[in-house]
A and B are shown apart, each in its own frame.
Chain A
Amino acid sequence: GAGVSQTPSNKVTEKGKYVELRCDPISGHTALYWYRQSLGQGPEFLIYFQGTGAADDSGLPNDRFFAVRPEGSVSTLKIQRTERGDSAVYLCASSLDRAGQGTDTQYFGPGTRLTVL
């Protein structure tokens, strides 16, 4: 079946601009995660959704970052007043999230490469 998809694959913007990154999870997956990966580093957690609600946003670096998942499927990561330090690959992952029944594999999308000039 279809995997996690992310759009756009690449985004170039200027410092101070607003950007939106989109994630389409695997059908039926209730959990959705956003991670950020800088060059030479592993992915770092940003935010976790269970259904429509942001259950854990402890990884968001500051209040310029915000994410929504209004219908419990597609999610959008929004970054206001972008800075050069926001340049990274933004990865989305989804899982079945069978709470209380053990770990659930997170399946990743291809990522959006954000470049802030």
Chain B
Amino acid sequence: EDQVTQSPEALRLQEGESSSLNCSYTVSGLRGLFWYRQDPGKGPEFLFTLYSAGEEKEKERLKATLTKKESFLHITAPKPEDSATYLCAVQALFSGAGSYQLTFGKGTKLSVIP
């Protein structure tokens, strides 16, 4: 069974204080690992897809990296508008019925204090 564990559950940072969020996963062959951002009362907003170990992607203050067992979302010099819940999800290479369903972690709630 595919599993995703995110840590920490919540993270409080001062504006400008860089940090990393962790996503550990077990999957029967990884098709892709996804990062989403979710604001309160909204649906998840796509950030990145990573396909293979060693891959990195960046967008503004965010950088996602991938190893064979985990992914990190690095946040450099965060701003208050980066406050949100960050969700990690995996998509298995071999899914029943050809489904490309995502298996999500519980998320990390990030608060950036001015």
| Residues of chain A at the chain B interface (Cβ within 8 Å) | 4, 31, 33, 35, 40-45, 48, 50, 55-56, 58-59, 91, 93, 95, 97, 99, 102-111
Contacts and interface: CB of A to CB of B under 8 A. Distances in A.
10 contacts: A33-B101, A42-B105, A42-B106, A43-B102, A45-B101, A55-B97, A91-B44, A95-B100, A103-B49, A106-B46
Nearest to A9: B41
A97 B100 contact: yes
Contact of A56 (B45, B87, B96): B96
A11 B4 CA distance: 30
Contacts of B31: 102-103
Contacts of A103: 31-32, 34, 49, 51, 91, 100
A31 B95 CA distance: 15
B98 A55 contact: yes
A107 B97 contact: no
B101 A48 contact: yes
Give the interface SS of chain A, mostly helix, strand, loop or mixed. loop
A51 to B, nearest CB: 12
A42 B87 contact: yes
Interface string B92-114: 00011111111111110000000
B104 to A, nearest CB: 3
Given A102-B51, A103-B91, A106-B100, 14 more contacts: A35-B102, A42-B4, A43-B104, A55-B98, A55-B99, A56-B97, A56-B98, A91-B44, A95-B100, A102-B32, A103-B34, A103-B49, A108-B43, A110-B42
A58 B97 contact: yes
A59 B43 CA distance: 19
